[in-house]
Structure 1
């Protein structure tokens, strides 16, 4: 009897486990709902836009500061702020009397140097003919060696005079070209095609080399320069597409990153990004975000 008790207990325990498992299975089957009328779609990976908002001011793609390269009194101004100019258009003139005088003197010196070279060439040619004639006489023993030496020396001197005259022509030409360039600097011309957006000179004022007199903006393209948080470093690169909201134009414009300056400003913890904009009605100074 003692041996049968453990076996009976084991059988009861196994039956209990089987019964419990069957009950759970039946319970799960009883509560499983069947949903009808619902369509399913396959999940696909896709890229989504990431948004980072910053702001900046619209500016022309190319901004050229116009400065003079010679000192003098401004004698005329041909444009005003807001005027459209083409590359090479005359913007203003500076008193050119001194420059013109130096250029005239340089031209005369160049002409004189050329004349001297022409005379030296003729003298050299004559000296060479004389040398050949006397050499024949010397070969025929019609003249002495001393006389032949004198003729040869005369020929060599004539050749050196030509070389010196040719060098003088080179120096005179360089001086003349420099004087002409300086004279040309008295006429200040537009460096690019665009609009005169700023002017800080009047007729009668003294123009000083290096001083900015006007500003011309090339309005064929525009951009905004924005500061971007350092956490975006490495995530932006030229060619990426961005959007810009320009409130004054009442719409969103397409833009493209044209340059990413990698250096981070330690004060603001940000770096500079330049964005080219496409759109009608853009003007320098508009706010964009």
Structure 2
């Protein structure tokens, strides 16, 4: 028993001795590899200092931009819809098609609208003809009325003169006039008798020659007019000359033909002699001339002898008759006013018909839906055969002239924005950044989000489309920042660091960076103003390396 206990004690003692020996060996090894500060400084001095470029961490006062987001929209967009309910017959565009202002993009069924237009056109023609006919009738009646009034006035004046002559007796000029009337009547009777003698006896040789010459002249004029007419008829059939000119030439041809026929008949009459009816007409002319001579002589006797009582009474009766005729003629002119009122009514009906026609044409034009501006079709929501209803979008068109970013801005930042302001913007999907300009600030805020909508016009950006995500950086509040060149920062994963030159030695400092702009980066922690940071390949310089400024 004792021997076993002793053996276990010896084993325990041996283990302890081994542990002590091992610990001593490890301590000796550690002391052999450890370098004292004095030894480290001596070793560093022995190494050659590396030349580096350094920059001073500076302190500046600037505003930190505030990032806001938004959606890109076309500068001009329209959802086209129908103004009438009708069936779609044609859709002439597809998504992506470019259209011009006024181009038809959708057609609707317009059979009933076309019929309404034709009906309105017929109503306008009917009303126009009614006005034209009424004006013609009114013009004729006005001429007739004025003629009746003028004739009635002239008759009244003649009756009054006749009464005055009967009552006062003839004047000298009236006697001369009566004598002249007798002389003229005698001359007319002599001419009628000579003509009767000529008709009875036949034509003389010189009259025959003159008639033949007239036939030749009329024939020449007829042939010339015929040639001209045939030439102009050919030109008219070829639509070379207007119809008015053709009608004028045809009228000249018809006149020449009539004159030629009359000349031939006159020559035949001269050659053949007068017919019985012509002799009777010449005798009747002689009898009428004798009757006029007898009346002229009676008028001369009245002028020389003075009026009788019965003549005065007859003259007064003629005056009363003439006055009554004048009153009736003047009363008839009132019908002209009635006609004018009727014309005014018809003209109003014509204007009403024209307005109805215009309205029908406007309605018919609604069957063609046109692009309001030039752009690109971005949406087609209807196909032929579908029923279009007012207000229901059929096609969406967006202008290709430009786009804008509609950014959502917190109410606390809206005071820093004004119209025309230049704003830095970016589109992540296109990896593009540029400068836009504020064109509109919606004056009311969203009560739910307490934000305003700011519209920023974008420059021309290739492949940009509406609906994509965009950013804008608004000016922030002024604050003090520490900045250094961005090349001084070394990034390893999520860690950021810089090398600060301290007494000829590169010392590693862990930092936290902020915004980077224009080659400068904001240092939020880890350095102080005035620190000298290494900017030439800091990643390749170990911490504690001797360095010197170039």
1:219-271 CA-partner distances (Å, limit 9, x unpaired) = 21100111111112322111000111111211202200001122222221111
1:84 to 77, 91, 98: 98
Q: Tell whether the 8 Å contact from 1:130 to 1:151 is kept in structure 2 after alignment.
A: no
2:429 to 248, 251, 254: 248
**1:26 equivalent in structure 2:** none
| Structure 2 residue 181 is matched with structure 1 residue 167 | no
Distance 1:66 1:253 in 2: 33
The aligned runs of 1:57-72 (5 Å cut-off) are 57-72=71-86
Distance 1:133 1:49 in 2: 98
**2:463 equivalent in structure 1:** 281
**1:52 equivalent in structure 2:** 66
SS at match of 1:220: coil
Moved over 6 A (4+): none
TM-score by length of 2: 0.43
SS at match of 2:93: coil
Larger Rg: 2
Distance 2:392 2:61 in 1: 52
**2:122 equivalent in structure 1:** 108
Unaligned 5+ residue runs, structure 2?
1-59, 157-321, 472-550
Deviation at 1:78, TM superposition (A): 0.7
**1:197 equivalent in structure 2:** 378
Q: RMSD of aligned C-alpha atoms?
A: 1.8
Deviates more, 1:60-69 or 1:202-211: 202-211
| Structure 2 residue 147 is matched with structure 1 residue 133 | yes
Distance 1:99 1:54 in 2: 52
Q: Tell whether the 8 Å contact from 1:82 to 1:195 is kept in structure 2 after alignment.
A: yes
Q: Tell whether the 8 Å contact from 1:72 to 1:94 is kept in structure 2 after alignment.
A: yes
Q: Tell whether the 8 Å contact from 2:408 to 2:454 is kept in structure 1 after alignment.
A: yes
Q: Aligned pairs, how many?
A: 244
Distance 2:71 2:98 in 1: 22
1:117 to 128, 131, 144: 131
In structure 2, the CA distance between the partners of 1:285 and 1:152, relative to structure 1 (3 Å rule), is same
Which fold has the larger relative contact order, with Cα–Cα distance below 8 Å and residues 6 or more apart in sequence? 2
Q: Tell whether the 8 Å contact from 2:149 to 2:330 is kept in structure 1 after alignment.
A: no
